[in-house]
Amino acid sequence: MHFSSTPPSGSLRRQRGFLNPNIAKFLGLSILGLGIAGALLVVYALIFINPRLPSLDVITDYRPKIPLRIYSEDKVLLGEFGEEKRSLVKLDDIPADVKNAVLAIEDYRFYQHGGIDYFGIARALVADVLRGTASQGASTITMQVARNVFLTKEKTITRKLYEVLLANKIESALTKDQILEVYMNQIYLGQRAFGFAAAARTYFGKDLKDVSLAEAAMLAGLPKAPSAYNPVVNPKRAHIRQQYILQRMLDVGFITQAQYDQASKEELKVRSPGTQYSVHAEYVNEMVRQMVYAQYKEATYTQGIVVTTTIDSAGQKAAYDAVRKGVMDYDRRHGYRGPEETIDLPSDADERAQAIDDVMDDHPDNDDIVAAVVVSVQAKEVQATLRNGETVSIRGEGLRFVAGALSEKAKKEVRIKAGSLVRLMQDAKNNWQIVQLPQVESALVSVTPQNGAIRALVGGFDFTQNNFNHVTQAWRQPGSTFKPFIYSAALEKGFAPASIVNDAPVSYPAGAGQPNWEPKDDETPAGPMTVRTALQKSVNLVAIRTLDNIGVPYAQDFITNSFGFDKDKVPPYLPMALGAGQTNPLQLTAAYSVFANGGYRINPYLITQITDARGNVLSKAAPLVADDNAPRVLPARNSYIMTNLLKSVAQRGTGARSNSIGRTDLAGKTGTTNEAIDGWFAGYQRTLATVVWMGYDQPKSLGGMEFGAQLALPIWVDYMGKALKGVPAYDMPAPDGVRIIDGEPYYDNFTPGNGLVTNLGVTVVDAISNFFGWTPSQTPGGNAAAPNAPGSAQPSGPAQKKGPTEGLYQGH
């Protein structure tokens, strides 16, 4: 083989890699210049920057901003308030997969280097000089901690010097594990989530300890660019980065091939914003926030205050589901109002997709009621595109509700056609159906009668749609749910369930120049009947006669003192017997609790205790407890007889639908105000007193055939059926002072022939007519009293605006 000894030519020298002397000289001078510049930077850093470095107290005594956190009694997280969502977690409690995913992508040699990757920094500086911009990073986890805790995110050489010097200072003050723990809790990960524990809750609705390997890799992809790799905002880019991190974990030996194969194929379920909590308790959360803020002001949102409520998470879920179902059932009974909006659909696919995206932005989903844009309409099938771009088909039963809106003869505002924005839900079999967002509102509150602990509270159909809390803020007429309090007062005046009162027309003077008040019922007056029958059937005339007999001033004092109603909201007139005053669901629940607990006045409360971020108790509830420190406001025999009466209503009267629960220890009363403006059911079992209301914020009729038994009672039944599952039946024992005669309870000092009020308003003609089944000659029809009834009250909406004169009731 021949080797030439002749020096290669210039072109050949360049081909073989020999450098041009001029280029070599330039590079040498550049390197020398960089070395000098680096030395000068070091001198500058030591002289000018190092003395100005901040104290490390912020991380050696790490106390980041932690939001107000609200829990149920059984330790389920209900909600958070604060600029930063954050949950502090110890390094030992962070799963290995999460730590390894972060190390693999952010700082593989974290436990080997001294906090600064000098080679990486040099590489970044060269790249920045050559490009003329500050574009390269090379930050270690320690340097990221320095930047996130102390510095801004601007890309300048000065800030980088601060970062390097701070990193060195941090490494000398903290162990590697301590540094990693701060990082895992401090780093911003999008959606207002700081730290991996908060991110796990935000994106997956899980505690950090429960995330899978695939989810860990998704979370590890967020620190670099939370907005770019956010699985909510950019699911495709987030998936690509997750796959890259899994590959990186495999390459460095953190996971096996089998683990990689499984994780890379796992389908992740990312929660949309606002659904990161497993229980809907938005109205509860807002009540707690207001109470805590009143005491702790701005510290509420930053000091890690933890509130434990009285809420039972399972009961809260049952209440939310029951209210949603009841409202949707009502809405279906009253017909389809039409699409929320109709747009033109471009023929170009990309333009069509954009148009659908644009209209969706103005119509957010409402929990399981999602927005969709109709893209085709046929006689037996409608196709609609969802927010995620998926197109679904609605057929058969799913179209029943809107059948009339699919016809070409339908009114323009009602007709569904291509481009219509509609609402969809899935039924029990996951088939899609067209529905609509309801306009009516409903509320439910449930309390433990013995101490007032609020176990469930739903202030409206949807908090994001209407944050007005109808449980505490909606002062409405209670209708016939108020009648039991009249009869309770009457027991102390000689009445009993067996007392006879005449259900016959009656007329009362209404004042000078005013026509007489002649209250009426839906049904034809039936003549003499017992108080028990009158309450079961919710007869108005009997309740009014009873109140007239015992006296309005006495009844007003008795009811407000015993049951906690506001005296200025209980009118001192006869229409009080029909619920002409005002109350709200929470106040009414407390009032019914007096019957349920044996006659004690309790105060509903929501917060059990408040602690700081370190677990120190800041305040603790001291509730009034029946048969302990709560004041007795009602004789035990009164609550016993009233419970006996209300059990009749629940089993054989207007509340008989409660029998579907399959219990014999339920008591309650329906209520429907005049023209069905408000529908109620108030009832209890010994362990739970629950009130449900339904109505419109701006008062209007719920419908001529709608009553409390159809509006509120089904919601009550759905909730109580779940809440009382497994709770033993309870039969209240008869207390001292009660005599049972022929199966009916009496006060022992008010018995037949011994002071008992009976045959109230009954004449000889009434008695004979009733005996032979004749109808009295005066049988006025109608279902309400005269509009100028004395003391008539007015219904109020959220702003407590007065509506038409009321006080006239259907009495159901």
- Annotated catalytic sites, by residue? 106, 480
CA distances from 300 to 32, 178, 198, 307, 357 (A): 56, 27, 18, 11, 37
Q: Exposed/middle/buried for 568, CB within 10 Å: 0-12, 13-18, 19+?
A: exposed
Amino acid at position 407, single letter: S
> At residue 465, what are phi and psi to the nearest 5 degrees?
-85, -35
Q: Which helix (H) or strand (E) holds 392?
A: strand 391-395
Look up residue 524 and give its DSSP letter: P
Q: Return d(Cα 201, Cα 199) in angstroms, integer.
A: 5
Amino acid at position 437, single letter: L
CA distances from 198 to 74, 184, 213, 219, 261 (A): 20, 10, 17, 11, 27
Look up residue 523 and give its DSSP letter: S
Please give the structure tokens belonging to residue 350: 């990309």
Q: Exposed/middle/buried for 31, CB within 10 Å: 0-12, 13-18, 19+?
A: exposed
Amino acid at position 645, single letter: L
Long-range contacts of 268-271 (CB under 8 A, 24+ apart): 268/204, 268/214, 268/215, 268/218, 268/231, 269/204, 270/203, 270/204, 270/231, 270/232, 270/235, 271/202, 271/203, 271/204, 271/205, 271/232
Q: Return d(Cα 35, Cα 612) in angstroms, integer.
A: 52
Q: Is 213 helix (H, G, I), strand (E, B) or coil?
A: helix
Residues near 80 by beta carbon (within 8 Å), at least 6 away in sequence: 67, 68, 69, 70
Q: Hey, what's the torsion of the CAs at 799, 802, 807, 812, to 10 degrees?
A: -40
Please give the structure tokens belonging to residue 634: 């009602």
Q: Are 229 and 221 in contact (CB under 8 A)?
A: yes
Q: Are 401 and 435 in contact (CB under 8 A)?
A: yes
Q: Return d(Cα 207, Cα 196) in angstroms, integer.
A: 10
